[in-house]
Structure 1
């Protein structure tokens, strides 16, 4: 059945659906762009990661992975794993803590416990657009690591397009997750 749409005299943006984005990716449409992600139906090219970003992400991943292994909950920290957030999102955060690291396809949203974005050049995008997307889709906890200010913005308790609770942790302080019992990370070497 054909849907009847009202007459429109202005241009309307078209939001790409997750399944169409994945088809385009499988067909090689983004090969010359290296890495992309789908945010609110728009395709974004991802910049190269310079050393400060890459080193902080690597060090943080090692610490979180070790802390999760010690907890024994079966959760795992995955680096640059794409998440399925239908109908219009497939972000690729720097680190995602999931209860389903194995399997085919994208990481399912309902398995996500924590998302971490490391920001040196993308702070505004990560603290505005991505924050709203993650909160709106019920991601329990979100950290934005501000490389330049040397602080981690920790947010939890998603409500609509925001997080009701937050705190800032300076590099060097111990960071304790708000939503993962007993997960604590030393940030002194970041």
Structure 2
């Protein structure tokens, strides 16, 4: 019988990761994020993905109005070992609220998935749920649908709904603001 030896991995903290970035360990064009202590090389963006990210961001800005900031592909302090860059994050406060530190609270995080669907359903979903993010959306470009996860509970979400391109969804924090899924798709 062949036993597979699992070697221990070194987990980086968010502080260590930020120091490496500041020290120039990574190049200016490197697209990286830290999740559960691992440095992840993010997939290059295709034009459909970039278009969808812009559309979702614009729709959420209109739906939420003032009092929040909609951030596009910027660092988010999830925990001591995670600093992902969600495609879209709706966070409390104005942009200057995050002058000295990235946000650590969100009303909603959204990932746009083309080649990253398994990652967004797996490690990202678990990390966002553990951190208590109240609402997590995955816009699946291939299936042309929006998956909505709510009520984080023990590293997962207790509620999952799937919305076709013909349906509308309202964010938890703005229940009267119905958004058409088809308007998020490129």
TM-score by length of 1: 0.87
In the alignment, the residues of structure 1 paired with residue 122 and residue 178 of structure 2 have an alpha-carbon distance, to the nearest angstrom, of 26
2:57 counterpart (58, 61, 73): 61
* Equivalent pair of 1:82/1:106 in contact (CA under 8 Å): no
Structure 2 unaligned spans of 5+: none
Question: Counterpart of 1:138 in 2: which secondary structure?
Answer: coil
- Number of corresponding residues: 178
Q: Give me the whole-angstrom Cα distance separating, in 2, the residues matched to 1:188 and 1:13.
A: 42
How far apart are residue 34 of structure 1 and its match?
A: 1.7
In the alignment, what sits opposite 1:162? 156
Query: In structure 1, how many angstroms separate the alpha carbons of the residues matched to 2:136 and 2:40?
Result: 20
2:1 aligned with 1:26, yes or no? no
Shift of residue 81 of structure 1? 1.6
Match for 1:93 among 70, 75, 86?
A: 86
Q: Deviations over 1:43-81 (max 9, x none)?
A: 011121101111111111111111111xx4x01211112
Aligned to 2:134: 140
Shift of 1:105: 4.3
Q: Distance in 2 between matches of 1:63 and 1:10?
A: 45
Alpha-carbon distance, 1:38 to partner: 0.1
Which residue of the partner structure matches residue 69 of structure 2?
Answer: 76
**TM-score calculated relative to the size of structure 2:** 0.89
Q: Deviations over 1:6-37 (max 9, x none)?
A: xxx97421110010000001111111652100
Written as runs of structure 1 = structure 2, the 5 A alignment for 1:97-176 is 97-100=90-93, 101-102=95-96, 103-110=98-105, 112-176=106-170
Does the residue aligned with 2:182 lie in a helix, a strand or coil? coil
SS of 2:21's equivalent? helix
